[in-house]
Amino acid sequence: MSFDGIVTRAVVDELKSSLIGGRIDKVYQQEKDEILIQVYNKGSNYRLLISASSNNPRVYLTKHSKKNPETPPVFCMLLRKHLSGGIILNVKQYNMDRIIIIDASSIDELGLTTEKRLIIEIMGKHSNIILVDKNKIIDSIKRVREDMSRIRQILPGLIYEYPPLQDKKNPLNFTKNEFMQLLNNDKRSIKLYKFFYFNYIGLSPLVSKEICFRSNIDIDRPIQSLTTNECERLYITFESLILDVIMNKYNPLYINNDSNDLVAFYCLELYQFGSMNKNFLPSISDVLDSAFRRIDIQDRILQKSHSMRKIVQSRFDRAISKLAKQKEELLESTDRKKYKIYADLISANIHLIPKGVNHIELENFYDENLTKLDVPLDFKISSVQNAQKYYKKYSKLKNAENLLLEQIPETEDEIEYLENVLVSIDNSFEVEELDEIKNELIKEGYLKDNSKNKRRKNKEEKLSSPYHYISQNGFTIYVGKNNRQNERLTLKVANHDDIWLHVQKMPGSHVIIKKDNNDIPNTTLEEAAILAAYYSKARNCNNVSVDYTMKKNVKKQPNSKPGMVVYDNYKTINVNPDKEIIKKMKISK
């Protein structure tokens, strides 16, 4: 995504009009690399989000907030000490680069007015948030030691220096002669669009391609192939675009594709995307808030789900191996009778068994024909000891069978439960949903509770809402998002005569059709079955079997894990989990 120098300038322009003169009320650090500053100005409250994330560094005014950590981090406490109650004096951009400077005055411990400077560097993995006092670094959200960078260290007590300038021109100070000279003198065999961000600071590949598109010149053309007329067109387009930037004439937008996935965002119109779904918003912060909220949620979900899935998958694989071993041991235990026969035959023929042999043929008096049976022996021990060894093995396998007949169903239940958890992780689209799964795994003993504050451990946690669909016939359909939600939906929300659906013999969500004393048409039943198939392990399969029955036929067995139920008196419908059909259904969050 293109948070370049032009977008930075648009953000600074908005922050100037919104924040200058405002009072800093509160400072939060909701992520390890993210700050939220609440500012009160001219009767309005503003939330300034500043992120030094390596993947998505950014600055803008947001309407959203995240959960605060139980204990404020050290850098957050430092910012509160120096900035809380302060007045924002100025907001500016450094040299058209992705660096924003916020100056604020506040009262120190001695009651004296001091000025502090918050510097936000949006530089990919090198992004940082730095608090400075008269050019001396107080601290930063990321400390940069000499072993991390020989060129530039960011540590308390050092003099702050701006990142070294690249050998690029400031596009706001453009002249035609300079532009043409750069174009004519650039002998690198590069594609045309790269010329702009190679030579001008603050221009991204996205806006560089936009200049080429508006000039009606192929972005991949070599510079040397341009005609005089094409060079002139490029300059006119470049001049027009930069003049809009100089005059702060912005048209913020974000663009989605047909699948509603984010394609691009910018503070200027992007003609290169043609008739794709463009969403124009009043301010660049509105655009960034919408775009980065989606990106941030996706990234956080990816990070959380990856670590959680790894743990659950490991436990699942161990349970599968455990079940295979248990079944192997059970098979051996069912064949234990031969060891008693060996022991009895040895005991009855001790006087016939010579010392030092590893097997002997004895008449099997359990066989009516008295056939000879080859009995294995341990030549290192006596005949009596061999008999005792076989009696012990027989007794052990007999006890093992009883134990395994109890353990195998438990292991099978664990496998089913963990497989349901894996499906729930895949179906999670909000961080809160993953947190619910995490809490469930903690309660079930699969994860450790590392939270510092456990006072609310025994309180009932608020669950997110299940998916809420409306069928074409107007019936309410609920879909559970995880095991605990499935259990609550089925056992507490659903009425006895509501219809309950679940994919057959596979992990998946519980689905409820609210009957409300009406007959449920086949179209609604089919739509609910499609939802049950889609939110299951069978999402990518065809002709999926889905069982359905009245909720009164669904029971939870004592001591079973969350979401695990049994049901009877059911019927089965086969459907294809069609995403397009689901899209057409109205969903209420």
pLDDT above 90: percentage of residues in the chain: 61
Q: What is the 3-state secondary structure (H, E, C) of 430-483?
A: CHHHHHHHHHHHHHCCCCCCCCCCCCCCCCCCCCCCCEEEECCCCCEEEECCCH
CA triple 517-523-525, angle to 5 deg: 60
Q: Please tell me the distance from the alpha carbon of residue 463 to that of residue 432, in angstroms, as a whole number.
A: 9
Q: Please, which pLDDT band fits residue 240 given cuts at 50, 70 and 90? A: very high
**Chain position carrying tokens 């004296």:** 112
For residue 162, give the 3-state DSSP assignment: coil
Nearest Cα residue to 211 out of 171, 175, 252: 171
Q: Is the pLDDT of residue 332 over 80?
A: no
* Half-sphere CA count of 336, side-chain side, radius 13 A: 20
Which H or E run includes 325?
helix 284-334
User: Mean pLDDT over residues 178-200, rounded?
Assistant: 88
List phi, psi (to 5°) of 33.
Answer: -125, 25
How far the first Cα of the chain sits from its last, in Å, is: 28
Q: Please, which pLDDT band fits residue 368 given cuts at 50, 70 and 90? A: confident
Q: What is the pLDDT of residues 144-171, one digit of tens each?
A: 998 888 889 999 999 999 998 778 999 9
User: Mean pLDDT over residues 462-479, rounded?
Assistant: 88
Structure tokens at 143: 């400390």
Q: What ranges make up the beta strands (E) of 44-162? A: 44-51, 58-61, 87-93, 99-107, 113-121, 128-133, 136-140
CA triple 576-581-584, angle to 5 deg: 170
Strands ordered across the beta sheet of 277-280: 262-266, 253-256, 277-280
Angle between helices 228-246 and 205-214 (to 10 degrees): 120
Q: What is the pLDDT of residues 375-431, one digit of tens each?
A: 899 888 889 999 999 898 888 888 888 888 888 988 999 999 999 999 999 888 778
User: Mean pLDDT over residues 251-259, rounded?
Assistant: 89
Q: Please, which pLDDT band fits residue 452 given cuts at 50, 70 and 90? A: low
Residue 495 DSSP class: -
Q: Please, which pLDDT band fits residue 460 given cuts at 50, 70 and 90? A: low
CA triple 568-572-576, angle to 5 deg: 140
User: Mean pLDDT over residues 24-52, rounded?
Assistant: 95
Q: Work out whether strand 58-61 and strand 99-107 pair parallel, antiparallel, or are unpaired.
A: unpaired
**Chain position carrying tokens 């600071």:** 201
Q: Which residues, listed in sequence order, are joined to residue 100 by a DSSP beta bridge?
A: 93, 120
CA 59 to chain centroid, in Å, comes to 22
CA 579 to chain centroid, in Å, comes to 21
Q: What is the pLDDT of residues 130-139, one digit of tens each?
A: 999 989 999 9
Residue-level pLDDT at 1: 57
